[in-house]
A = this chain, B = another copy of it.
């Protein structure tokens, strides 16, 4: 399989094309003339609206740390203040607030905006897409970020990846799910493209604000709800009303979090501040993922101690979901040129990456896992 897949890529000329994108591309956005000395620069104050509440303390904390480091890197002159979801605008309107110039930037997820255009999904994660490392490779080195920024330009913003939650869990269920037939007519709190795929499998996707999930699950108004992973989910207490915790969250294999920055605000920044912003954003990317990878196993151990049942989606459901997602991509690409453009590049990169990870990373991880 691997040899055939690799040679297919090579044979299709993808190798040459990708090589020309190549490594130079990784640093491209950062290649620029030496910035003027920071001390000559003006004081600038920005506001950042976060899509996250303070209770999601990894994401919230990394937003605050980014701002603190940026102040330190600029002698206190570039001062960004973060506001939690709801304080300036609701969490899911963060992009709109940047687009309208209400704030200079947002800490958010691109896929919150798939209602405007499904192309937004590629910025964060897609069902059966890339894992966290693969997303970074694509965004920084594979031309992904540049391609997305072309799309985001239509909304007056540019983007900076600032971390991943890692692959997310598949949600909390009141009852076990043993096969496709158990999905028919069930009500699940799930949004975006994951919800669209689940709908193809018979689920009735529900949109509920965070605070409404617990009572709905408790009363049985809904049957299931997906959130993030153990670290964030533990705090919601959902395990008290829906004990079956499913894996994997196949619709979110490696979600990238983003800063969206208004183009006008960005262009008005001195070069030295842009540089400090980029470097601190990359640090935020690294540490957000490290904090989730650190916190999730500890939270999972605590959840299991409280009687949570860890369950796996049956192969039958994964296979049907995979097929449904591929159909969804093909259908959307046929009618949405922006989606089609990103999808073509993303899909080639995704296959290439998964073929590569199947050579070492995944089999070696599996071997070690098998040794306990």
User: What residues of chain A have their CB less than 8 Å away from a CB belonging to chain B?
Assistant: 1-3, 5-7, 9-10, 14-15, 18-19, 22-23, 26-27, 30, 34-39, 57-58, 61, 65, 69, 71-76, 128, 131-134, 136-142, 166-169, 229, 247-250, 253, 272, 275-276, 278-280, 282-283, 285-287, 289-291, 293-298, 300-302, 304-305, 310, 312, 318, 322, 351-369, 371-372
Contacts and interface: CB of A to CB of B under 8 A. Distances in A.
A301 B11 CA distance: 9
Given A9-B301, A357-B369, A291 B3 contact: no
Contacts of A367: 128, 248, 250, 318, 322
Contacts of A301: 6-7, 9-10, 14-15, 352
A272 B318 CA distance: 50
Nearest to A274: B72
B298 A15 contact: yes
Contact of A286 (B136, B253, B363, B366): B136
A38 to B, nearest CB: 5
Contacts of A285: 286
A357 B365 contact: yes
B18 A290 contact: no
A169 B18 CA distance: 22
A297 B167 contact: no
Contacts of A253: 364-365, 368
A223 B356 CA distance: 26
5 contacts: A22-B295, A23-B294, A137-B294, A282-B283, A297-B353
A72 B10 contact: no
A138 B289 CA distance: 12
A295 B23 contact: yes
Contacts of A298: 15, 18-19, 22, 352
Contacts of A353: 293, 297
A305 B295 CA distance: 42
Contacts of A166: 133, 360-361
A248 B364 contact: yes
Given A167-B361, A279-B279, A290 B354 contact: no
A362 B249 CA distance: 12
